[in-house]
Structure 1
Amino acid sequence: MFATLPDLLRLLVVPVFAWAAIRDVRTRRLPNRLWPPLYLFGALLLIWEAVSLWPFAGFDGRVFLLRAAISLLFVAPLGYAFWYLGAFGGADAKAMIALAVIFPTFPAYEVGGLVFPLVDTDIGVFSLTVLTNTVLLGLAYPAGLALRNLVRGEVSSSMFLARPVATDSLPDRHGRLFEDPDGPTRSGLDLDALRMYLRWRGLTLAALRRDSDELRDPDSVGETFDPTDGGTHVGPRTDGGRAVDAGTDGSAGAPADLDDPWAAERFLDDIDHGAYGTDAATLRDGLDVVAREDRVLVSPGMPFVVPMAVGLLVSLTFGDALFALLGAVGLV
């Protein structure tokens, strides 16, 4: 393999992103300590290349400055903007910023007479290529979910966005409920918020389903506990116990005139941080659903770091898929 030393060192990022993708799938959590070393690593490589091109008098130097500026001043802030608008999680934004710092320009690797990536772009901003490849890969996720539902015979209007699962399996799942008592909804209860609530009350989901009539009364709340952040890998388990029998309506006969059903407002007031944007009404609706239904619709969501890791690998080998597609139809 022939490449510059900075480009060879950049390949060290690939296993880091592979590890991050696997951890994100398993826990939906990435440690904050992961990102500062990557930012520093990218900054050192950027300085290394800048020094080699100093004083940027030639064409190559000016192009390098332009591409680095686009990556650092457009792609990196774009990651923050996506997080601010709610399109990204915090780790997704930090990962995108890391790629913008580490890969401002296209690397080049000559192997067996071929130069990778195979498809370059006129702009030449590699972090932008990783982003577009990531988006294209992300668009395949709803299609894959729909195909899975179709194979299982679970055909519905929401098959591209959610799938039915056993309610008792929710403690180990990620995503959000795709239904409330009135039917399908895109603003259902976040499953991390559900785990936070259960831990706050010291309950398992099975216990909540079994004794839902009693537990819906806010006066039933006794000692409360640390809700954690709702992750599956931290805090007490929220499964276990004996679930209600199939077909039992866990909310039947529950009082309808409670001031704060499920103590939802008390829970949100008591915790020292938010519950993933959950309000009291959403929490109550979600608890009513999981207390009553044996199977629920769940939108599993997609950890964006996963297609980002795959997109990085595709970008380093094939190159820019969108640019190749546009070229094939004569648009570039």
Structure 2
Amino acid sequence: MTVLGVAAAADLLRLLVLPGFAWAAYRDVRTRRVASRLWVPLLAIGALAFAVEAAGAYPFADYAGRLFLVRAGFSLLFLIPFSLLAYRLAAFGGADAKALVVLAVAFPTTPQYVVPLWLFPEATWLHTVAFPVYPSTLGVGAMSALTNAVLLGAVYIVALAVANAVAGRFSPAMAVGRWTPVDDLPETHGQLLRVSGLRPERGLDLDALRMYLRWRGTTLAALRADPAAHRDPGSVEETHAPTDGAVHDGPRTDGGVDDGGFEFPDSEGDATGDTDATGDPSDAADTTGDTSAAGDAAGDTDGSDTDGDGDTLTVDDPWAAERFLTDIEGSAYGTTPETLREGLDRVTREEALWVSPGLPFLVPLFAGLVLALTYGDVLTVALGALGLV
């Protein structure tokens, strides 16, 4: 058991951020959703730690003070714009970007923790050890956490490819996808992959699939049992709030019984809460809009159906895909009617498919932060071993 010996007040405050990141990583694995309210207290703790350290370095007249300004400037003026740009370019989810902003504010420098070695049975109390063991040359803790996270993400990709190779599943998708039974899709995060050439392409988002099933008030098992009937847009009668497609935050879509007795909400319900999607940075649908069955696509004889807002839906709408995307507000993770129809055809026809699970980035980011605080910047250590720094 390690007990903290000596540390600056700001560095002690920064330790309070770790439990929040641990919880965010857990939620990222379980639901790919993190409540937005989590980041507010973490940002406040980080800002307080920043202010305490800045007060200690003021008036920034000596070398240490000026070095603090350089590191703090890099953390705030590079990492925060980088996180926002990555979000805008759909490289990060909303929670991922907010997590990096918190890190940039909370860890502009590398904390130092000194632990007395008498706590270890084989050591004597006269010795101490400082963490991180190998602090980076740059000295920006947030940057060390990010580079560690990127390296851990690369290890994940290699491990995925190796696992598929060992299982004999050789495909262009083997480094980015998992071969997944269709029956498991209601409980799986990610996107279907199309493998038609050397480069796999992303297809239907599984969150959008769950949204569609909840909107219809049905299950994937029911679709697979009678795809022809479900393909008829006239089979859609009463519709329900689609939620945001999270696995554990809505009605079950696999035919099982929800442990919490969750029933389909009425058309006015909002089952999503205030959360940020993680892993998939596409724009999530706002599920609080009109989910009524107005404008039954099967009931018109003039070849069109109007939902009251001027949008005309054609009767020739397999799976009622166009009606679904018109009923909800938002884009259902960028899904188009064609993508939805193609995905539904595949999940009702195939027994297993390649799925890109995505990487729950808050997990390697949390692990990268812990690694940065204990061991150091892995990239710096590796480059130093090669004599490059």
* TM-score normalised by length of structure 2: 0.78
Equivalent residue in structure 2 for 1:149, among 150, 164, 171:
164
Residue 160 (structure 1) shift: 1.0
Task: Give, in whole Å, the separation in 2 of the partners of 1:184 and 1:78.
Answer: 28
Q: Which one is further off, 190-199 or 114-123?
A: 114-123
C-alpha contact 1:178 1:184 (8 A) present in aligned 2: no
Q: Pick one of 322, 325, 332 that aligns with 2:382.
A: 325
**Cα shift at 1:132:** 0.6
- Give the distance between the partners of 1:5 and 1:52, measured in 2 at CA: 10
Q: 1:182 to 1:319 in 2, by over 3 A?
A: closer
Cα separation, 2, equivalents of 1:182 and 1:130: 36
Shift of 1:182: 9.5
Q: 1:133–1:321: 8 Å Cα contact kept in structure 2? A: yes
Match of 2:102 among 94, 98, 102: 98
Unaligned runs of 5+ residues in structure 2 are 118-127, 257-313
Q: Report deviation, 1:326.
A: 1.4
Does residue 275 of the first structure (1) align with residue 290 of the second (2)? no
User: Residue type matched to 2:210 in 1?
Assistant: R
> Are 1:200 and 2:219 matched, yes or no?
no
**Aligned counterparts, 1:257-296, within 5 A:** 259-296=316-353
Contact 1:181 1:288 in 2 (8 A): no
Supply the AA of the counterpart residue of 1:273: G
1:59 aligns with 2:116: no
1:79 matched to 2:83? The reply is: yes
Please say if residues 180 and 188 of structure 1, whose CA atoms lie closer than 8 Å, have aligned partners that are also in contact. no
Shift of 1:73: 1.2
Equivalent in the alignment of 1:315: 372
- CA deviations on 1:147-206 (whole Å, 9 max, x unpaired) are 222333323232111121111111111011113799984221110000000111111001
The answer to whether the 8 A contact 1:200-1:226 is kept is: yes
What is the aligned partner in structure 2 of residue 131 from structure 1? 146
Report the Cα distance in structure 2 between the residues aligned to 1:119 and 1:303, rounded to whole angstroms.
27
Answer yes or no: is the 8 Å Cα contact 2:173–2:200 preserved in 1: no
Describe the shift of the 1:287–1:185 C-alpha distance in structure 2 as closer, same or farther (beyond 3 A).
Answer: farther
Gaps of 5+ in 1: 242-256
- Relative to structure 1, is the Cα distance of residues 183 and 258 closer, same or farther in structure 2, using a 3 angstrom cutoff? farther
Question: What is the percentage of aligned positions where both structures have the same residue?
Answer: 56
Query: Is 1:19 aligned with 2:23?
Result: yes
Match of 2:13 in 1: 9
CA distance in 1, matches of 2:7, 2:232: 67
Q: Could you tell me whether the CA contact under 8 Å between 2:190 and 2:355 is conserved in 1?
A: yes
Q: Is it true that 1:114 corresponds to 2:129 in the alignment?
A: yes
Q: What is the CA RMSD across the aligned residues, in angstroms? A: 1.9
Q: Tell me whether 131-140 or 148-157 shows the greater mean CA deviation.
A: 148-157
Equivalent residue of 1:188, what SS? strand
Cα deviations across residues 251-270 of structure 1 (Å, max 9, x unaligned)? xxxxxx97221111111111
TM (norm. structure 1) is: 0.91
Match among 182, 200, 205 for residue 167 of structure 1: 182
CA distance in 2, matches of 1:143, 1:329: 22
Count of aligned pairs:
317
How far 1:231 sits from its partner (Å)?
A: 0.3
CA distance in 2, matches of 1:11, 1:186: 41
Deviation of 1:117 after TM superposition, in Å, equals 0.9
Deviations 1:68-98 (A, max 9, x none): 1111111122111111111111111111111
Q: Which residue of 2 aligns with 1:213?
A: 228
Residue in structure 2 matched with residue 252 of structure 1 by the alignment? none
Q: CA deviation at 1:277?
A: 1.2
**Structure 1, residues 270-312: CA drift from partner, whole Å, max 9, x if none?**
1012211111111111001001111111111111000001101
User: How far does residue 57 in structure 1 lie from its aligned partner after superposition?
Assistant: 1.6
Residues 137 and 380, structure 2, Cα contact 8 Å, conserved in 1: no
Q: Which amino acid aligns with 1:21?
A: A
Structure with more of its chain in helix, by fraction: 1
